[in-house]
Amino acid sequence: MSAIAWAAFLCGPLPLELVQVAARIVPKRASFDHLDAELAAQLFNDSGRPRGTFVDCMIAATALRAGAHLATSNVADFRRFASAGLSLVVD
């Protein structure tokens, strides 16, 4: 899980018990670095710069750099990154 996605998750509000369970399930967070920043900006610009979507671009960029699948229940916000190679895991 990216540190950006973890931060978005923590914006809750969430009960402490849920945060503790999530931390045990996903104990590692991928940091966001300058390469992620460049890719996130490219994804944002290439997708038409939709307002309020830059955090999604940051999450997608981290997954793409790591070669990871992105698990989400919010497919609509991430489907647009499939052309960049993002692989989604949906429930």
Which domains are assigned to the chain?
3-90 (3.40.50.1010)
**Side chain identity, residue 27:** P
All residues at 6 or more sequence positions from 16 whose CB lies less than 8 Å from its CB, including other chains: none
The CA distance from 27 to 39, in Å, is 25
Mean pLDDT for the stretch of residues 7-16: 93
Strand partners of residue 32: none
Task: Write out pLDDT tens, residues 77-91.
Answer: 999 999 999 999 986
The CA distance from 47 to 42, in Å, is 8
- Given pLDDT bands bounded at 50, 70 and 90, which one contains residue 12? confident
Percent of the chain at pLDDT > 90 equals 95
Task: Write out pLDDT tens, residues 54-77.
Answer: 999 999 999 999 999 999 988 999
Q: What is the mean pLDDT of the chain?
A: 95
Strand partners of residue 30: 2
Q: How far apart are the first and last CA of the chain?
A: 16
pTM here is 0.90
How many other C-beta atoms can be found within 10 angstroms of the C-beta atom of residue 26?
13
